[in-house]
Structure 1
């Protein structure tokens, strides 16, 4: 064999190795997201109005409806919902128990370092739910009071970070419904959760009202594994179509009684892919082709 033929053989082997390296990740992503199977998602059942069970045992809520609409846009035959306490929901994503987390997940710098996010789909803040008649004029009034929260949530993090500053005590529950119940029966003064959740609970619970709202400037986004860039891009296109064709607005109105503000993240299609300003954002321009 001549020197030139040896070099050509080495080049061919190198090209084949590169092709294998490129193909394997693509095949792995396809295996994780089989087109002919239901879209596997996770939510914290009992977290009304996002994901909960009816009296008949059927799963429903904003998250459920949005996920079903996304699956339809993606050409998947429905959705398969895994119930997970929020404190364990990210571990389930990383271990591939489900494909994504559409449940209300605040986009934060810390989370964006560990996972990918879609563009925002709903603005949020913190709502302080109390038994009717309870008043909160300022956060300083929480001193010495017991506050309940859904374990592992962004509300839990805020309460933990500010516990020493405001002097309250924290009671953590694996289900927000249990955290609310503790307030209603007098075990605690207030429950802290995402504003949309607190407001919905107040409409469904005659004894409850939202006494205070802390605007955080945060938004909810769909969470994906770090390596799932291609799948995140597909879901984001579907999400943008739900925004532009009015589907997401209808789902919002169904569960919250009002249409989303035209300037909110529920109605806004963002440039690029992901959450602008956070790690994992891809500024490459694209255009959703909606059917």
Structure 2
């Protein structure tokens, strides 16, 4: 006679294979929960924006060379000053943040931004298509053009790229001016950490010409004793903007608004006129 099943024996109430189906169901539910958690984490990571980070920190970390007058340099008291420094401070104030500056050589400045050492670079960075592959940019805040710098006693006609064939050209390493110089057929391009080094070599005759921002020339003429002068412009006017790491649309919106506010309330024009005697957000006058 068969032994009757115990009333509490759950196995007696499950059809054959019930344990397997229940285990499979538990695994499926667990997998679903895991997938939802991972999806939620991915959404959270994607939603993270630099604006949230700088607001939580209360600071805007700003990089510049610190050796690039009149844009950014140290005055006789050793304090960081210049057009870019004043613009950066005004931008941070508009965003409700405290500016914190880091100075570094131009040759390393973009790599430092990509590594997260600072939030933005305010240092006359040309917003080229190549750089836009790696970084996002604010709207333009300066319009200028590349220009030759020559010794004060230079008598040769140096006006076109063809005129530079066989000459030694000094440029900043990793700069858009370096890219421009490398495209000049027959020229010898020498790269330097920054403007002070190649301008010194230009003054002493180690190189024939240099290429830099057109806005640098009036400052050199007025403020330094270097025996150099403005040469011919090269290329078209280009826009300089503020780069930051990709993927922060809220931060871009905030910094663009801060720039627009500076221009609307006259702050930008006041700073620009102080350093350049004109509004450099507008195209330079034809020469």
**Range class of TM-score, shorter chain:** 0.7 to 0.9
TM-score (norm 1): 0.79
- Aligned residues of 2:221 and 2:228 also touching (Cα < 8 A): yes
Secondary structure of residue in 2 paired with 1:188: coil
1:19 is displaced (CA, Å) by 4.9
Counterparts of 2:144 and 2:193, CA distance in 1: 21
Larger radius of gyration: 2
Residue matched to 2:66: 45
Secondary structure of residue in 1 paired with 2:205: coil
Of 149-158 and 197-206, deviating more is 197-206
How many aligned residue pairs are there? Answer: 259
Change (3 A) 1:28 1:140: closer
Counterparts of 2:51 and 2:162, CA distance in 1: 52
1:244 equivalenced with 2:246 (yes/no): no
Residue matched to 1:88: 108
Residue matched to 1:170: 189
Secondary structure of residue in 1 paired with 2:126: coil
Counterparts of 2:214 and 2:232, CA distance in 1: 10
- Aligned residues of 1:147 and 1:168 also touching (Cα < 8 A): yes
1:107 is displaced (CA, Å) by 1.1
Change (3 A) 1:36 1:132: same
Residue matched to 2:177: 155
1:208 equivalenced with 2:228 (yes/no): yes
1:68 is displaced (CA, Å) by 0.1
1:258 is displaced (CA, Å) by 2.3
1:16 is displaced (CA, Å) by 6.7
Counterparts of 1:241 and 1:69, CA distance in 2: 10
Counterparts of 2:57 and 2:111, CA distance in 1: 25
TM-score (norm 2): 0.80
Deviations 1:187-241 (A, max 9, x none): 1121111111233223323522101112323100110101222212111110111
Residue matched to 1:137: 159
Of 139-148 and 8-17, deviating more is 8-17
Counterparts of 2:264 and 2:235, CA distance in 1: 27
Deviations 1:137-191 (A, max 9, x none): 33322222211111111001111122xx2x2212211021111111111211211
List gaps (5 residues or longer) in structure 1. 2-6, 266-291
Residue matched to 2:84: 63
Change (3 A) 1:256 1:13: same
Of 84-93 and 198-207, deviating more is 198-207
List gaps (5 residues or longer) in structure 2. 1-21, 23-27
Q: 2:241 aligns with which of 221, 229, 245?
A: 221
Residue matched to 2:204: 185
1:127 is displaced (CA, Å) by 1.2
1:115 equivalenced with 2:135 (yes/no): yes
Residue matched to 1:284: none
Of 14-23 and 177-186, deviating more is 14-23
